[in-house]
Amino acid sequence: MKETPKIAIVGTGNVAFHLTRFFIEEGILPSVYGRNKPALLAFEKELNVPTNQDLSALAPDTLALLCVSDQAIPEVIDQVPNAVRIAYTSGSTDLHSFPKDKVLGVFYPLQTFSKGVVLDAKEIPFFIESNDAEFEKELLALASIISNVVHKASSTDRYHLHLAAVMSNNFVNHLFHLSEQYLQHHHLSFDYLKPLIRETIRKVELISPSHIQTGPAMRNDHDIIVKHLASLSGLEKEVYALLTRSIQHTKEKNQDEL
């Protein structure tokens, strides 16, 4: 394994797991820091990396990548020794919300991470920011080791990217979940929808989503919409009604702009 750059991954969640694996694949062995001892033991077993629960043990020449929740970032930064270079992986935490006298950076991978799913790091966009020009160059170079898609991005741009990512990934996945539940209730398999989902994603790769919207709301098929709403209840009914209104509003707005 390469000894430089010396990387410490702080955190034991999904992002930490995948970043650790990405660096290992490029011949860099990170150390992993965290408070959860069983999770650290899992890192040792699965990825054969050194682990530590004591952040004060971080060596001065280390670059620490904080893979922790947004709320925990300020607390963890305070616990890291001053000489250690720090970058966090959050999408929405503004770099300018921290004291200006502390050199900090952002190392944001725009992707959804699950431990059981293998990802190709080369295709993952990384967005880099720092309040120090030299550290920013270092982070850009580091990201370029594991990814072919590396960009500088301001905190504002990163925030907008993260919000859009929540809508296009987290919300869409929740709709998949609701669909799966609905079908299970009617003793049908969610697998039947997977070819449709794959085709939807394939079309998004080729064409703007604004040009490929289909379905009852797009067709203003009132009778089908009323029938669907009658088959739903609670939050699921509210979600269906809200998304229907949003599609219809978007269609009307686009027609007005023509």
On whether the CB atoms of residues 5 and 29 are closer than 8 A, the answer is no
What does the buried/exposed string (b/e) look like for 110-126 if buried means 16 or more CB atoms within 10 Å of the residue's CB?
bbebeeeeeeebeebbb
Which pLDDT score is estimated for 1? 47
pTM value is 0.89
DSSP string, 2-24: B--S-EEEE--SHHHHHHHHHHH
Higher pLDDT, 101 or 39: 39
Query: Is residue 99 over pLDDT 90?
Result: no
> pLDDT over 70 for what percent of the chain?
97
Express each pLDDT in 162-195 by its tens digit.
Answer: 999 999 999 999 999 999 999 999 999 999 999 9
On whether the CB atoms of residues 51 and 44 are closer than 8 A, the answer is yes
Q: Report how many helices (DSSP H) and strands (DSSP E) the chain contains, helices first.
A: 10, 8
Query: Is residue 257 over pLDDT 70?
Result: no
Instruction: Give me the residues paired with residue 149 across strands.
Output: 125
Which pLDDT score is estimated for 5? 73
The CATH architecture one would assign to domain 7-153 is 3-Layer(aba) Sandwich (3.40)
What phi and psi, each to the nearest 5 degrees, are found at residue 32? -120, 130
Residue 189, both tokens = 């398999």
d(CA 63, CA 16): 14
DSSP string, 200-217: HHHHHHHS-GGG---SHH
Q: How many Å is the Cα radius of gyration of the chain?
A: 22
Express each pLDDT in 201-218 by its tens digit.
Answer: 999 999 999 999 999 999
Q: At residue 204, what is the residue type? A: V
Instruction: Give 3's pLDDT tier (boundaries 50, 70, 90).
Output: very low
Express each pLDDT in 53-87 by its tens digit.
Answer: 999 999 999 999 999 999 999 999 999 998 999 99
Residue 222, both tokens = 């009132």
Instruction: Give 256's pLDDT tier (boundaries 50, 70, 90).
Output: low
CATH of domain 160-257: 1.10.1040.20
State the average pLDDT for the chain: 93
Where do the structural domains in the chain lie, given as residue ranges? Answer: 7-153, 160-257
